[in-house]
Structure 1
Amino acid sequence: MYNNSRGRPGVVLAAVAVAQFAVALDLSVVNVALPAMREALGFAPLDLSWVVHVYALTLGGFLLLGGRACDLFGRRRLFMLGLMVFGLCSLAGGLAQAPWHLIAARAGQGVGAAAATPATLALLTTTFAEGPQRVRALGVWSGVNAAGGALGVLAGGLLTEYAGWRWVMLINLPIVAAALTLTLAGVPADARSARREKLDVLGAVLATGGVGLLVFGVVRSDTYGWGWTTWAMLVVAGMLLTGFVLVESKTSVPLLRLGLLRSRWVAGANVLVFFSTAGQFAAFYFVSLYMQQVLGMGAAATGAAFLPFSASLVLGTLVATRVTSARTPRTALVPGALLAAAGLVWFSFISSDGGFVTDVLGPCLVTGIGVGLVIAPIVAAATTGVALHEAGMASGLVNSSRQLGGCIGLAALATVAAHHAGRTTNPAELNGGYAMGLAIAAALFVIAAVVAVVVLPRRRAEAAAPQSAAPAESRLEGTPS
């Protein structure tokens, strides 16, 4: 069943999937193009990494704000606004003539993505009723999200090698145009609210500042290390986030209603997505470096080598969607996390004199299926029992957990691997560092499995989230604006 007042469900799903593919693609598509960008624009060595980091910084920092804003001001409106900002900044990045032009464009892309991403999940949640239809829709969203990130490396390599680095930015323009066209064709206008609630400005400042500073402190550690400056940033971030929790506990219109976290589905899914994404991002990073710096594979070949992972991930997503439709997200999450952990343990036996077929292909297939079994049900779990008027809030929360898990996990495990390998370019020593990082990534998936067993309910009947006093449909019915 779906909500007939929400437009054409198939078109809504297509628009959301296309948009989320672009957002996920940009998390990895520029990585392979970094050397070409440095040569063309004259980046200083320490500045080049900010082409990647500033996107993660603005995306992570503004997700909670974007999620709540789409509840207050309209999901379709925020979705289209985010896409337009994302597209215009992609164009600006493709036309960049100086380092700061490209960094500013990437920051703008992150802001646009932070508006569009929570709106994608909120649109699905309010279009498809809770149950099998919503599970299938969220499975498509999760599969596209993962495939976009995985295919970004391949697309970045091919575009950089055969079309030029600017096309890793310009490729977003036709994707955004397609998403906007689908939105105009099938996503209904936002309902006019009977009363306008004010945005929690203080909460927004504290949340954006706290999460942004947390991401900034973590991602800069790969260049500047874990000295006192980095730790000072993390302490200040903790203080800001503590202040955010205090403000949210007292305000009548919170950016994040803390009562939402009393739901075992919502709380458990957010903890689970943090650990699983930390393991996933780190594994993706180490395997990519292993193929390039140990096996000596080129950028395009490395990107192509991720195709089996993408295919197995899609297979895992399809299986998880079918299982979750019939039962509960927990049913797929536990075996999926354990299977991903097993694949990463297998990965940790990589050798410096190995090869793609002997050291990468097998564990890649196992890990991909496991990750697919995990990522599809997580979003369904994180939105189970959530009132429709808080769909954006829940969406912003789970996406923030995903982004924080990826940033913190990658930075922490990259530091451990680098410390183990030392300052060297010797393939054997690099191999040891990557193997340790992959083993720790496996442990993170085991923790995710434990969270799923201990925290998530066994039955959907236990999923009802505590509701706020505001009427659930107060923002969903009325005359379209």
Structure 2
Amino acid sequence: MGLRAWSVLFVLCGAIFLEGIDIAMLNVALPAIRADLGLSTGVLSGVVSAYVLGYGGFLLLGGRAADLLGRRRMFLFWLVVFLAFSGLGGLATEGWQLLVARFVTGAAAAFLTPAGLALITANFPDGPQRNRALGVYAGTAAGGFSLGLVAGGALVTIGWRWVFFAPVLLAAVILAAAVPLVRDTPPPRRPARAFDLGGAVTVTAAMLLLAYAVVDLTVVPLLAGLVLLGVFVTIERHAPHPLVRLGILRSARLVRVNVTAHLFLFAFAGFQFAVTLYLQELRGWSPMRTGLVMLLAGIDTVLAPTLTTWLVNRHGAVRVLFGGLLAGVLAYALFLPVTEDWTYAAMVPSLVLLGVAFALAYGPLTMAATEGVAEHEHGLAGGLLYTAIQFGSALGISAVTAVSLAGGVSIGSIRAALWLPVGAVVVAAAVTAFGLTAGRQPTPAVALRRG
């Protein structure tokens, strides 16, 4: 890849790094925010939930908007929105202001993320170049979350507001570089009346309700969301220009990729949250010390753009993904015997394997998500992938919270919660194994094209 291509990739990776570091830093800063603003436990959990609602609720719409309205336009506009509302979060003096800021920031990320992924596939030709770009992209995404835990711990010592102001500075740098560098393929030319407003409204409302149900583990919003999802499907079947072409969901490979992504991130987010509870609530470790421990899993930042790309070019994305899932099973299983006085050395194998698992799985998931999908629907494919990822992460954290806090945090409840990631990643590995046996992969080159 030439200098310009690397520059474009650097900008797009900066956006996914921004999204990862923003989430991680806020999680570390929550106790300090509650103490300073006097927030109730409900409002504090709502600060996290608001972001998930905005992100999960608008992802499908965001992915399709990138295809219809232009990926570059959506990327730049929503990067500005992300920057503005992150700054407003840092200026908040009351809980409701934080709730609004986090909801809009999450919605901005929902438009920004699939547009960024679609821009990568548009700017890098299919094959080794795109695989390498997506490998770097995946490594940067992982690095954002891993480094965010440490950066958040450091910034909280200065003041929790810097957890919001630091992303503003980073977003400003990314925006300044993106304007001259990032180019777009022209969006399809359709008259304004062709936009599927009914589909946009129903799918967004459905996803908001489902996201709320996932966060709070409640039944009524879940049922309402499923009903609206049914209405959305009916609208899409009859719309002359549907927001989501339902035929894309007939691809068994695409469905397997998204189911695997959902389960893998359920396990990954759930495990990290369980370990954080164990270290901070049970062991009494500080956020900074916890972040430094979890940083060991950040080995994926180095492995994803190097080892993973090489393996995909030799063996195909799905085989590498399967290897990553097996590494995840081992990583989570090795942590099951945890005790109240476990040494750091006892945690190291799980954390290293966690980094290897993420490196081998996340990149191939992003590669496989758009393989075989028409170029003009890459934004939609990205929206589907990140919807699966976001809902998986939210459900994983909610499920682990429900199990680990049911009778108060104890070593027994932590161990019980740790079985959830093990089970989820075992099922994900089974789904991927079925794809390996069902699909023909005569050569690595064909595997790369078909996933």
TM-score (norm. length: structure 2): 0.94
Question: Where does residue 273 of structure 1 map in the other structure?
Answer: 261
Matched, 1:140 2:136: yes
CA shift at 1:27, angstroms? 2.0
RMSD between aligned residues: 2.0
Q: Is the 8 A contact 2:119 2:184 kept in 1?
A: no
CA contact 2:267–2:422 (8 Å) conserved in 1: yes
- Give, as a single letter, the amino acid of the residue that structure 1 aligns with 2:201: V
Instruction: Choose which of 207, 210, 213 in structure 2 pairs with 1:214.
Output: 210
Provide the rounded CA distance (Å) in 2 between the counterparts of 1:307 and 1:334.
Answer: 24
TM-aligned CA distance change 1:411 to 1:48, over 3 Å: same
Structure 1 Cα separation of the partners of residues 187 and 333 of structure 2: 52
Give the conservation status (yes or no) of the 8 Å contact 2:122–2:184. Answer: no
1:271-302 per-residue CA deviation (whole Å, 9 max, x = no partner) reads: 11010000000011011111112222111111
Note if contact 2:403-2:417 (Cα within 8 Å) is conserved in structure 1.
yes
Give the counterpart of 1:378 among 365, 388, 392.
365
Quote the residue 1:348 is aligned against: 336
Match of 2:430 in 1: 450
Distance in 2 (alpha carbons) for counterparts of 1:45 and 1:152 = 23
Q: Give the aligned partner of residue 406 of structure 1.
A: 393
Moved more, 392-401 or 250-259: 250-259
Alpha carbons of 1:366 and 1:194: their partners in 2 closer, same or farther (altered >3 Å)?
closer
Q: Does 1:432 align with 2:419?
A: no
Q: In the TM superposition, what is the alpha-carbon distance from 1:461 to its structure 2 partner? A: 4.5
Equivalence for 1:310: 298
CA contact (8 A) 2:267 2:424 kept: yes
Counterpart in the other structure of 1:286: 274
Residues 73 and 349 of structure 1: CA distance in aligned 2, closer, same or farther (over 3 Å): same
One of 139, 163, 166 as aligned partner of 1:168: 163
Distance, in Å, in 1 between the alignment partners of 2:243 and 2:87 is: 32
* Correspondence for 1:187: 182
Partner SS for 2:177: helix
Name whichever of 118-127 and 171-180 sits farther off. Answer: 171-180
CA offset at residue 431 of structure 1? Answer: 1.6
- The whole-number CA distance in structure 2 between the counterparts of 1:192 and 1:108 is 25
Q: 204-213 or 409-418: which moved more?
A: 409-418
For 1:40 and 1:291, the matched residues in 2 are separated by 23
Residue type matched to 1:380 in 2? M
Tell me how far apart the structure 2 counterparts of residues 19 and 357 of structure 1 sit (CA, whole Å). Answer: 34
Specify the alignment match of 2:323 in structure 1.
335
Q: CA deviation at 1:194?
A: 4.2
Distance apart, 1:352 and its partner CA: 0.9
1:129 maps onto 2:125 in alignment: yes
Name the amino acid aligned to 2:283: L
**Which residue number corresponds to residue 474 of structure 1?**
none
Secondary structure at the aligned position of 2:369 is classed as helix
> Which stretch shows the higher mean deviation, 24-33 or 275-284?
24-33
Q: Which amino acid aligns with 1:374?
A: A
Distance 1:462 1:433 in 2: 42
Map of 1:471 onto structure 2: none
State whether structure 2 residue 220 is matched by structure 1 residue 232. yes
- Asked if 1:43 is matched to 2:23, the reply is no
Deviating above 4 A after TM superposition, structure 1's stretches of 4 or more consecutive aligned residues are 460-465
Q: Which runs of 5+ in 1 are unaligned?
A: 222-229, 466-481
Q: 1:470: which partner in 2?
A: none
CA distance in 1, matches of 2:49, 2:369: 26
8 Å CA contact 1:14, 1:182 repeated in 2: no
* CA distance in 1: counterparts of 2:160 and 2:152, whole angstroms: 8
Q: Aligned pair 1:326/2:321, yes or no? A: no
Deviation at 1:324, TM superposition (A): 1.0
Q: Find the aligned partners of 1:417 and 1:97 in 2 and give their Cα distance.
A: 32
- 1:183-205 CA deviation, whole Å, 9 max, x = no partner? 12211255375444632211111
Q: For the Cα contact (< 8 Å) 2:26–2:152, is it kept in 1?
A: yes
Q: 1:311 to 1:172 in 2, by over 3 A?
A: same
Instruction: Pick the aligned partner of 2:381 from 394, 400, 414.
Output: 394
Q: Distance between the aligned counterparts of 2:185 and 2:95, measured in 1?
A: 39
1:250 aligns with 2:246: no
- Are 2:47 and 1:67 aligned? no
Percentage of pairs with the same residue: 36
Q: 1:397 to 1:189 in 2, by over 3 A?
A: closer
Q: How does 1:72-83 map to 2 (within 5 A)?
A: 72-83=68-79
Which of the two has greater helix per residue? 2
Q: 1:366: which partner in 2? A: 353
What is the one-letter code of the residue matched to 2:58? F
Hey, what's the Cα distance between the residues in 1 that align with 2:209 and 2:187?
Answer: 36
Question: In the alignment, what sits opposite 1:478?
Answer: none
1:241 equivalent among 225, 229, 245: 229
- Deviation at residue 416 of structure 1 after TM alignment: 2.4
For the residues of structure 2 that align with 1:339 and 1:265, how far apart are their CA atoms?
Answer: 22
AA at the equivalent of 2:92: A
Consecutive unaligned residues of structure 2, counting only runs of 5 or more, are none
Matched-pair contact (CA < 8 Å) for 2:313–2:448: no
Please tell me whether the aligned partners of residues 340 and 445 of structure 1 are also in contact (alpha carbons under 8 angstroms): yes
Aligned to 2:27, what secondary structure does the other structure show? Answer: coil
Paired residues of 1:313 and 1:372 also in contact (CA < 8 A): yes
Q: Deviations over 1:375-397 (max 9, x none)?
A: 11001001101111111111111
TM-score (norm 1): 0.88
Equivalent residue number for residue 51 of structure 2: 55
**Residue 63 of structure 2 contacts residue 379 of structure 2 at CA under 8 Å; is this kept in 1?**
yes
Shift of 1:153: 1.8
- Change in CA separation of 1:253 and 1:463 when aligned onto 2, cut-off 3 Å: farther
Question: How far apart in 2 are the matches of 1:247 and 1:144?
Answer: 38
